[in-house]
Structure 1
Amino acid sequence: MKKSIKRLLGVTVAATALLLGAANTAKADTTLTVGASAEPHAKILEHVKPELKKQGVDLKVKVFNDYILPNKALANKELDANYFQHVPFLDNWNKKNNGSLINVGGVHLEPIGVYSKKYKSLKDLPKNATVYVSSNVADYGRVLKIFKDAGLITLKKGTNLTNATFEDIKTNKKNIKFKHTFEAKLMPKLYESNEADATVINANYAVQAGIDPTKKAIALEKKNSPYVNIIAVRKSEKNNKAIKKLVKVLQSKSTQKWIEKEFDGAVIPAIK
């Protein structure tokens, strides 16, 4: 009789343990690993971690310091998503690498800017001025538009800014020399070296280097730019529930207001 009771208790305890284990498994957070640039992307992701945790998503942020590796890591399934680029950059990467990464939602705009320690405006640039630009081809149209809007260059008829290059310049009133052989992450150091008459810097690298775009740039990309930074994923993950939660939280009014306040105009919310 005692043995039967012990066996029964043993079975009950084992069954209870299995049920508790099943319950804990059901409640376990989904881990989502997202690759991001340090500023402002990783900072924004860290901000939304608590809200995602409430929704059952354990967000892991992997920081990258360049524009080369994040898409490779995503394509190789080392990441679930990444957050560092705009659509023209993604399209260019897919074309060059036979990739199929997709955009699942825009979050913010980092206005690219022109910086100079020698001149206070683009119109002050002298003839034959040298302007340093990164080797990121996807940003060339953005740079050209800034100089076009300032009246310093004109573009050939039919030029599409999303894939434009410096070969598309028709007239160059001051014969400005655009040197575009530098890695994007090096632009703040080149600006500080004061080698060129002006240097073009992406806002994320400017902010990361302690350079305030709203105060230091002599020309800044306008707010209606199409170069919004996005969450990118593999095509097979477009319906991933955890990724949908991530995008929804990033695009929420509270997060977008936080971005506007936190970066004081250096980073602009994509959702109004």
Structure 2
Amino acid sequence: MTFGGIHMKKIVLSVLAIAIVAAGFLFFSKQQDEKKVVLGVSGQSAGMVKYVEKALNEKGYKLELSVAESTIASNEGLMDGSVDVNIMQHEAYMNQFNKDRQANLVKAGKPLFEQFIGVYSKKHQSLDELPDGAKVAIQNDASNTQRALRVLEQAGLIEVKKDIPKGETLTPLDVTSNPHNLEFVELGGGTLIESLNDVDIAVFCGLAAHKAGFKTEDALYKFKPNDLKANALILATKDGNQDKEAIKIIHDAFESKESAELVKEVSGGTWFPYTGD
């Protein structure tokens, strides 16, 4: 009987020891997860995070990159919690995403970078060479379609409605003057570069152009946005996360001089520090 009691005691103690070890492991794993920060980036911007990672490591955080094929995919990661914060979009894009998806993404801190936007071509050396009925590739999501039309208007190729209802964005249907009878080809952002083999001109951001081998001086027209804030690149996150320490560290690190120099180098000068208020 005593032997059996001692045997049972040993079993109970062994079970308790295993439980304590398991609980400790789970606690450690939870702590590790809490110190891991997932930053959403594009394949083009993944090389810009060296000093962000350094700043996070100094505070005990581990940086993990989530390289997404599209901003939509990264934003879906923000919504489901698999991504903590991303740097892939301007505020106008985020606001449109929120509207379309009933999402609650917010900007963390002030805008970080302005980006070069231009009109590019493989067929023409100047906008003056455009033939009547020229094909123009523009991005097909609402905020970037509007921006592309603004670029073309500023370049003197078209005119668009001056007043649009609040909450709505410009579409090709809002073009009021099109003297060259331009034909608009709306495409996903990832296919704009490839479209240059088939269209006369395309409007896209300088980072994509840099990746494709273009230089900023190759642009037939360089956009000068009237609204710097709406067009500048931001850190986006799910509402409620914007004041977390790790996200503030990321924001401050991107604002540092050393990060600005790295971003300029990696982007070929197409991303540069935000100069607005």
- Same-fold call, TM cutoff 0.5: yes
* Counterpart AA for 1:34: L
In the superposition, the TM-score normalised over structure 2's length comes to 0.79
Per-residue Cα deviation, 1:142-200 (whole angstroms, up to 9, x for no partner): 212222122221122314898222222111111111111x2211111222xx2111122
Distance in 2 between residues matched to 1:121 and 1:257, nearest whole Å: 31
2:114 alignment partner in structure 1: 109
Q: Percent identity?
A: 27
> Shift of the alpha carbon at 1:60?
0.9
Select which of 172, 178, 195 maps to 1:172: 178
Aligned mates of 1:164, 1:189 — CA distance in 2: 24
- Where does residue 258 of structure 2 map in the other structure? 254
Amino acid paired to 2:219:
A
Q: What letter is aligned with 1:209?
A: A
* Mapped partners of 1:175, 1:232: distance in 2: 38
- Counterparts of 1:160 and 1:255 in 2: how far apart (Å)? 39
Stretch moving more, 152-161 or 164-173: 152-161
CA contact (8 A) 1:142 1:221 kept: no
State the partner residue of 1:80: 84
**Between Structure 1 and Structure 2, how many residues are aligned?**
244
Q: 2:240 aligns with which of 227, 236, 240?
A: 236
Q: What stretches of structure 1 move > 6 A for 4+ residues in a row?
A: none
Is there any run of 5+ residues in structure 1 with no aligned partner, and where?
1-20
Aligned to 1:221: 223
* CA-to-aligned-CA distance 1:19-60 (integer Å, 9 cap, x gap): xx9xxx7x97821111111112x2212342123212322111
Q: Report if aligned partners of 1:257, 1:269 keep a CA contact under 8 Å in 2.
A: no
Equivalences for 1:13-162 in 2 at 5 Å?
30-40=35-45, 42-105=46-109, 106-159=111-164
Q: Whole-Å Cα distance in 1 between the matches of residues 75 and 179 of structure 2?
A: 38
Relative to its length, the structure with more strand (as a share) is 1
RMSD: 2.5
Conservation of the 8 A alpha-carbon contact between 1:251 and 1:271 = no
Q: Secondary structure at the match of 2:49?
A: helix
Aligned residue identity for 2:194: K
Q: Name the residue aligned to 1:4.
A: none
Structure 1 residue 195 corresponds to structure 2 residue 194: no
Task: Give the TM-score taking structure 1 as reference length.
Answer: 0.81
CA contact (8 A) 2:108 2:243 kept: no
Distance 2:61 2:213 in 1: 32
**What amino acid does structure 1 have at the position aligned with 2:75?**
N
Specify every segment of 5 or more residues in structure 2 that has no aligned partner in the other structure, as ranges: 1-23
In the alignment, which residue of structure 1 is the partner of 2:208?
A: 205
